[in-house]
A and B are shown apart, each in its own frame.
Chain A
Amino acid sequence: MNTATLQAQDSAGLSAGTPLLLEIKDLYVHFDVYGGTLKVLDGVNFTVRSGEKVGLVGETGCGKTTTMKAILRILPMPPARIPGGEIYFKGQDILKMGEADLRRVRSEGISMIFQDPTAALNPVFTIGQQLEAVVKYSLEGKKLSRREIRERAIIPLREVALPDPERMLDSYPIQLSGGMRQRVCIAMALVASRELLIADEPGTSLDVTIQDQILRLLHRLVEEKNVSVILITHTLGVVRETTDRVYVMYAGNMVEAADTRELFARPMHPYTRGLMDAVPRLTGGGIAGGIRGRIPDYLDPPPGCRFHPRCDHAMDICRQEKPPFYRLSDNHEVACFLYRDGG
């Protein structure tokens, strides 16, 4: 099916009429580990339209990063496995792509800023060696001379406002501060222009003021370059200010999707409501105050609605069947049996 030209009809449709850029359909990801199989993603559905800024929230361990890595096919396999699902980017299923198409998507379609900049930089190569490799193997890199490659590598470093970019090229990650590493990671993702930028909790590992600078920088770059964005964050305030639409994820499922303003005005899913109560920040483990209990064990997740052990409204059906997405309005969907009859 060619979804590039397909109108968005199946999902909350604020900007219905804009073509779908990315569409994840019923995606499953399992991890084979010692002691069994972690059934992490459990039928994820997710879309991004051209030009859209989509937020993704959910407590730690719910599978946000896993979903994003699946899109770029960079989950470590093994232990990861994709037993089912489709991921369409401009109408083509990434999961079925050959080497060449996949590289095209990675070089000019989608790029990702990783959650932990320290882990995302190769510790034994200089920033220059890493950036230059990205330039060299980008689609137009073949034609470039060594000097041109180096010059191209400096441009994104300037764009992310790193001081002394020349010297930066010859530095190793260990010689940089956390904030600088984060900027370098952003620079890498911006070497060539992309249509979709995935930002996985940018700056979370840094202190608050630097995190703020990073988010501002990212916001500016996204506006300048006019790319679509998936922004993962634990800070609901950031979602509210910078995104058009939000997905709420719980234990490997998308449980609610709505336009940002709508979601904050009328959170529907019991989990989303819990999140809102847990403002300002969602931290590791269970969520302070908002919701009792913690995220389930993926070795043996609860049947039916994965949220039912923690849900105050759980009914019999919740323990047996998985709730589908119920459409409440053009721009609001929720996966919960409470809204079976249209809420």
Chain B
Amino acid sequence: MKLITFITRRIIHSVFVLFGLSIVIFVISRVMPGDPARMAVGARAPQWVVDNLREQMHLNEPLYVQYYYWLRDALHGDFGISLVTRRQVADDIKEFFPATFELALFAGVIMGGAGIFLGTVSARHKDKWIDNFVRVISYLGVVTPAFVFAILFLLLFGMTLNWMPTMGRISAGLSRPPVVTGLITVDALLAGDFATLLDALWHLILPALALAMGGMAQEARITRSTMSDNLTKDYIASERSLGIPEKVIMRKFLLKPSLIPTVSILGLDFAATLSNAFLVELIFNWPGISRYGINAMLRKDLNAIAAVILILGVVFIVVNILVDIVVAQLDPRIRLAPGRGE
């Protein structure tokens, strides 16, 4: 099947998923106890203000009409006003989402890179000390929550050793580069501002590492088990028997088939990082979407909740499509499977 067909099909599919998600979000936001209009204006506002606002927000119409208005606005990027920040929710998202996305991207790179590396080393030295060492690290990584690592890193590298910054995305003295993507590292690179780039990277390391530990451990374990399994496969024996050097077999003929399960899990871990970053963002004072979302939930900020869930849903879907594309690239058995066109 052509890649284009594959992607188009997945995107059409996703539109339906998103549509379903939007209904769920809408229903939840409307069945939550409390009157959204009353909450928007506050407890002390007179009743007529509330009534006017109810009319304005179409709250007196039947639910499906309300949904229509809500969806129409959402499609225009209008999620209403946040009750907490008193700003357009869309503006909040534009500010907080890139911060978390940047963090998650770096965490993803660490998870994938370090996880695959450790897994490979482990598989090649199965049951030797290095394998056992990686195994212990992996268990620790899997069972320890990210916030524990965050606190540990903060105390150790930030406070005790004083090596790393522990607060925010860039140092106080620096001004942010002009916003293009919202990712400070990328924007700094685009602006050619290397001092800021380095500073932003420096700020990213600790929180990204804390967030990545769990996924990294997971990726290492999966890579190790797939690889040591594949090492006993006949095709590896066959390639060895034909005189192909061990190095080439390891880096090419063993690595590619062994990465497939890792890539699938890596995608999930990356997407989960976005929503799991709450405590880490809190600890490192990171102005991110996860923190924003949890605050919105605690304060029943319905417009903000809906927007955050929706955007995380979109990210989840996009990541899944990307993972499917990468897996299909890696594995012709999926790409060429009968019944999928061609």
A76 with B330: CB separation less than 8 A:
no
User: Are B240 and A74 in touch, CB under 8 angstroms?
Assistant: yes
Q: How many residues of A contact B (CB 8 A)?
A: 39
Residues of A55-82 whose CB lies within 8 A of B: 69, 72-76, 78-79
Taking a contact as CB atoms under 8 Å apart, the answer to whether B235 and A133 are in contact is no
Q: How far does the alpha carbon of A122 sit from the alpha carbon of B127 in the complex, in Å?
A: 26
Q: Give complex CA distance A188, B241 in Å.
A: 10
11 inter-chain pairs at a CB distance below 8 angstroms, sorted by A residue, are A74-B241, A103-B243, A106-B242, A112-B238, A123-B235, A124-B330, A125-B256, A130-B239, A133-B239, A139-B243, A172-B336
Q: Is A107 an interface residue (CB 8 A)?
A: yes
A163 to B240, CA, bound (A): 27
* Interchain CB contact (< 8 A) of B253 among A74, A76, A122: A122
Q: A78-B127, A123-B332, A124-B257 are in contact. Are A107 and B238 (CB under 8 A)?
A: no
Give the shortest distance, in Å, between B239 (CB) and chain A (any CB). 7
Chain B residues with Cβ below 8 Å from A130 are: 239, 253
A124–B256 touching, CB < 8 Å = yes
What 0/1 readout, one digit per residue, does chain A (94-119) give for beta carbons within 8 Å of chain B?
A: 00000100010011101110111001
B8 within 8 A of A: no
With a cutoff of 8 Å between Cβ atoms, the chain B residues found around residue A74 in the complex are: 237-238, 240-241
Cα separation A124 to B230 with both chains bound (whole Å) = 12
| Contact among B126, B242, B330 for A191, CB-based, below 8 A | B242
17 additional A-B residue pairs with CB within 8 Å, beyond A110-B241, A137-B243, A172-B336: A69-B237, A72-B241, A74-B241, A76-B237, A78-B127, A108-B243, A111-B241, A116-B234, A120-B237, A122-B239, A122-B257, A124-B333, A133-B239, A137-B244, A138-B243, A172-B333, A188-B238
Contact, CB under 8 Å: B237 / A134: no
Residues from chain B with a CB closer than 8 A to the CB of A116 are: 234
Cβ-defined contact, B242 with A134, below 8 A:
yes
In angstroms, how far is the closest chain B Cβ from the Cβ of A140? 12
Q: Is the interface of B mostly helix, strand, loop or mixed?
A: helix
- The chain A residue sitting closest to B230, CB to CB, is A122
Report A-chain residues with C-beta under 8 Å of the C-beta of B241: 72, 74, 106, 110-112
Residues of B within 8 Å of A123, CB to CB, are 235, 257, 331-333
A161 close to chain B: CB less than 8 A: no
Q: How far apart are the CA atoms of A75 and B337 in the complex, in Å?
A: 31
Within the complex, the shortest CB–CB distance from A252 to chain B, in Å, comes to 19
Q: Across the interface, do A188 and B242 meet the contact criterion of CB distance under 8 Å? A: yes
B175 in the interface, Cβ–Cβ < 8 Å?
A: no
CB of A144 within 8 A of chain B? no
- Alpha-carbon separation in the docked complex, A74 to B331 (Å): 25
Measured between beta carbons, the chain A residues less than 8 angstroms from B246 are: 99
Are B244 and A133 within 8 A (Cβ)?
yes
Residues of B within 8 A of A99 (CB): 246
Which residues of chain A come closer than 8 Å to B84, judged between CB atoms?
none
Residues of A in contact with B (beta carbons under 8 Å apart): 69, 72-76, 78-79, 99, 103, 106-108, 110-112, 114-116, 119-125, 130, 133-134, 137-139, 172, 174-175, 185, 188-189, 191
Report the bound CA distance from A116 to B234 in whole Å.
8
When distances are taken between beta carbons in the complex, the residues of chain A under 8 Å from B245 are 103, 137
The number of residue pairs between A and B whose CB atoms lie closer than 8 Å in the complex comes to 94
Tell me which residues from 244 to 303 in chain B have a Cβ below 8 Å from any Cβ of chain A: 244-246, 248, 252-253, 256-257, 260
**In the docked arrangement, what's the CA distance between A330 and B134, Å?**
58
Q: Which residues of B contact A114 (CB under 8 A)?
A: 234, 237-238
A106 touches B256 (CB 8 A): no
Instruction: List the A residue with the shortest CB-CB distance to B242.
Output: A134
Given A74-B241, A124-B257, A133-B244, A119 and B235 touching (CB < 8 A)? yes
Asked whether B160 is an interface residue with its Cβ less than 8 Å from the other chain, the reply is no
> Whole-angstrom distance from the CB of A170 to the nearest CB of chain B?
11
Among B232, B237, B333, max chain A CB count under 10 A is at B237
CB-CB nearest in chain B for A75:
B237
Q: Give the distance in Å from the alpha carbon of A75 to the alpha carbon of B260 in the complex.
A: 25
Point out which of B126, B233, B234, B248 has the most chain A C-beta atoms below 10 A from its C-beta: B234
Verify B240–A174 contact, CB threshold 8 A: no
Known: A123-B257, A124-B330, A133-B253. A111 touches B242 (CB 8 A): yes
Kindly name the residue among A110, A121, A124, A133 whose own CB sees the greatest number of chain B CB atoms within 10 A: A124
Asked if residues B242 and A189 are in contact (CB atoms below 8 Å), the reply is yes
Note all chain A residues with C-beta closer than 8 A to B237.
69, 72, 74-76, 114, 120
Residue of A nearest to B234 (CB): A119
B121 to chain A, nearest CB (A): 16
**Closest approach, in angstroms, between the C-beta of A337 and any C-beta of chain B?**
37
Are B253 and A106 in contact, CB atoms less than 8 angstroms apart? no
- A200 CB to closest chain B CB (Å) equals 10
Question: Contact between B248 and A122 (Cβ–Cβ < 8 Å)?
Answer: no
B231 within 8 A of A: yes
**Cβ of B241 to closest chain A Cβ, rounded Å:** 5
Whether the Cβ atoms of A78 and B126 lie closer than 8 Å is yes
List the B side residues contacting A69 at CB < 8 Å: 237
Across-interface contacts of B260 in A (CB, < 8 A): 124
Knowing A122-B253, A133-B253, A172-B336 touch, does A76 contact B232 (C-beta < 8 A)? yes
CA distance A121 to B236 in the complex (A): 9
B235 closest partner in A (C-beta): A122
- A185 to B235: give the CA distance in the assembly, Å: 10
Encode B298-342 as 1/0 by CB contact (under 8 A) with A.
000000000000000000000000000000001111001100000
A289 to B331, CA, bound (A): 45
Of B233, B234, B241, B244, the most chain A CB neighbours within 10 A belong to: B241
CB distance from A192 to the nearest CB of B (A): 8
Q: Could you tell me the distance between the alpha carbons of A134 and B249 in the complex, rounded to whole angstroms?
A: 11
**Do B257 and A106 have beta carbons less than 8 Å apart?**
no
CB distance from A269 to the nearest CB of B (A): 31
How far, in angstroms, from A76 to B232 measured CA to CA in the complex? 5
Contact B243 A124 (CB under 8 A): no
Q: Mark B111-128, 1 if CB is under 8 A from A, else 0.
A: 000000000000000110
- Least CB separation from B337: chain A residue: A174
CA of A114 to CA of B235 in the docked complex: distance in angstroms? 9
